[in-house]
Amino acid sequence: MRSVPINIKRLFYDRIQWLSALIVLCFVSVLLLRSQSAASYPTYILALVMLWHWRVWRDAWSVQSVRWLIALLVWMSASALWSMPPDWRQVMSIWVRAVLIFFFVIAVAECQVRGQMQRWLAQALVLVGGVTMLAALAHFLVAQPEDGRLNGLGQLDTHVVAALVFGIVLLFAVLLQESARGALWRWIAVSVSLLALTCILLSGSRAAWVSVLLGAATLVYSLRSNDMRQVVTLILTLGLVLAVILVVLVSAGTMADWVLPRGDSYRIEIWRQTIERITAAPWFGNGIYTKDDVVAGDYVFQHPHNLYLATVLQSGVVGLALYLVLLTQCLRSIGTRFDLPDAKVALATLMLASLAFLLDGHQLLDKIGEMWFLVWLPVGICIGIDWGRQQRP
């Protein structure tokens, strides 16, 4: 990745510069704006720009992963039709969200083909993410919340979501440390990395700790090796070691409360009730808008706290299969150009997200939020890698 100064004059003539600026604005809005509706405005503008210039990117249809993306978005959107109770306003809303996600992913892919991911995204996320984390840390130290957990600003108003998105900022900061030519950017990247680690630690989310550790380890190993199989082997080994350590710590009575300070947080009961609902409509799901809240103990949990179970509940085994096929296509794309820094950060993001989704996450199709960092950004990068390979003679 190369640090390249922004050419203001070129910005007004180059459509890719506009797309890059809008993509950055989309992410900045998540970090800074509390209202999800307000944060969505940049996505509407981005979609209109993409729609207006559809002839420029129409050859993206030839990329196989784009077809799988469309299949996933269409199927999950269609599940709104059999949600209970039916609501045509919600049906239209979910289709709009699917369209916004599609245009966002294609825009990211097109920018990746042109190298714009390397020019803007890492620097923008590191700078804005650094300011956001600094503000969140200051608020945490001043407010001293009763639960002792650091939350984020904007839409990152829960400790788990904040920690996961801060983990993505950490990945781009690590990437910037390795690639930036100027000493100033390296200093900024190192400072933001340390700040991210502090905020993630103070979030108190054990799931985020392990997920971010796995993602960061994947990226660090990847930057030192162009052999994807070697990297995956090392990461799987690390995951196995971590799993054994966690089991040992939980088994030891003195450490169990530190590893799981809130027990299993009713996860087992939540998943049991979710699986019972899945058995009622295992293949097609209950519909994306069917209520999925769960009562456990004295609490009402708003979702299954597992993206994979939530996906099956909403869109059935078919929906989960389409999602997993898309991820498989992404891994294949990463493997074909593992020498690219973009491919390595996409792999690290997917590793982080895939592990985190075992304990959290509830909806793939949503307005812009943490899912756009954790899923749709790496998917766009992977599609861009495939698209670029097709365009080269």
Convert the pLDDT of each residue in 359-386 to its tens digit.
888 889 988 999 999 999 999 999 999 9
The yes-or-no verdict on residue 11 having pLDDT over 70 is no
Distance CA 335, CA 143 (A): 46
The yes-or-no verdict on residue 169 having pLDDT over 90 is yes
Q: Does 1 fall in a domain?
A: no
Q: Does 3 fall in a domain?
A: no
Helices (H), the chain: 8-11, 15-32, 36-39, 41-52, 64-78, 88-113, 116, 122-143, 159-179, 183-203, 206-223, 228-251, 253-259, 267-278, 307-336, 341-356, 370-371, 377-391
Of the two residues 11 and 115, the one the predictor is more confident about is: 115
Cα separations (Å) of 327 from 258, 266, 344? 34, 29, 15
Count of domains observed in the chain:
1
Distance CA 82, CA 194 (A): 47
Per the prediction, the chain carries an average pLDDT of 86
Q: Does 205 fall in a domain?
A: yes
Between helix 159-179 and helix 341-356 the angle, nearest 10°, is 160
Burial class (CB in 10 A: 0-12, 13-18, 19+), 293: exposed
Please give the model's pTM, rounded to 2 decimal places.
0.91
Does residue 267 contact residue 297 with C-beta atoms inside 8 Å? no
Q: Does 2 fall in a domain?
A: no
Distance CA 76, CA 70 (A): 10
User: Domain of 352?
Assistant: 8-391
Q: Does 175 fall in a domain?
A: yes
pLDDT at residue 314 in the model: 93
Among the residue ranges 16-30, 217-231, 293-307, 333-347, the one predicted with the least confidence is 293-307
Residues in the chain: 393
Does residue 313 contact residue 274 with C-beta atoms inside 8 Å? yes
Amino acid at 36: Q
Q: Does 212 fall in a domain?
A: yes
Q: Does 309 fall in a domain?
A: yes
The yes-or-no verdict on residue 254 having pLDDT over 60 is no
Q: Does 280 fall in a domain?
A: yes
